[in-house]
Structure 1
Amino acid sequence: MATVRTYAVVLEPEPDGGFTVRVPALPEIVSYGDDEADALAMAEDAIRLVMEDRASRGEAMPEDAKPRIREVTVTLAA
């Protein structure tokens, strides 16, 4: 029987282009893609590999960590 899980991913734009991708529920995953679609595909592959590895060792699959991303504005004195 197939196991289907959905995980939040965080895409961080890189100064020279592309995205670093992280999966908060699976902190061992840090990947990169040349564009958003590539980054998401890399994340999907990495998540699948981690899930297969954990399953092969009889480890539980973590639940998704729903990150709360907010912006904070800071004013510096001149």
Structure 2
Amino acid sequence: MMRSLNYRILLRREPEGGYTVTVPTLPGCVTFGEIIEEAITMVREAIELYLEDCAANSDYRKDDH
């Protein structure tokens, strides 16, 4: 069974339009969406890819998060 992890995100409206989303506990995990719903969908995917990359490179330890 896969364990569910929760991450706090920062959603920032950009002056030129759209939203930038960052995940403070995952350095470099940043994405963008034109609307809030898209930004949230994109950040879920970004987190998943970030964690897959960390696991593949042995940089991620479950007890750190």
Question: Normalising TM by the smaller chain, what interval?
Answer: 0.7 to 0.9
Which structure 1 segments of 5+ residues have no match? 64-78
Aligned residues: 63
**TM-score, with length taken from structure 1:** 0.72
| Cα distance in structure 2, aligned partners of 1:2 and 1:57 | 20
Name the amino acid aligned to 1:17.
G
* Aligned partner letter, 2:51: M
5+ residue gaps in structure 2?
none
SS in 2 for 1:12: strand
Task: Give me the CA root mean square deviation.
Answer: 1.3
- What is the CA distance between 1:57 and its match in structure 2? 2.5
Percent identity of paired positions between Structure 1 and Structure 2: 37
Following superposition, the deviation at residue 46 of structure 1 comes to: 0.4
Higher relative contact order (CA 8 A, sep 6+): 1
Within 5 A, what are the aligned runs for 1:1-78?
A: 1-58=1-58, 59-61=60-62, 62-63=64-65
**Structure index of larger Rg:** 1
> Displaced runs of 4+ in structure 1, greater than 3 A?
none
Identify, as 1 or 2, the structure richer in helix: 2
TM-score of the two chains, using structure 2 as the length reference: 0.84
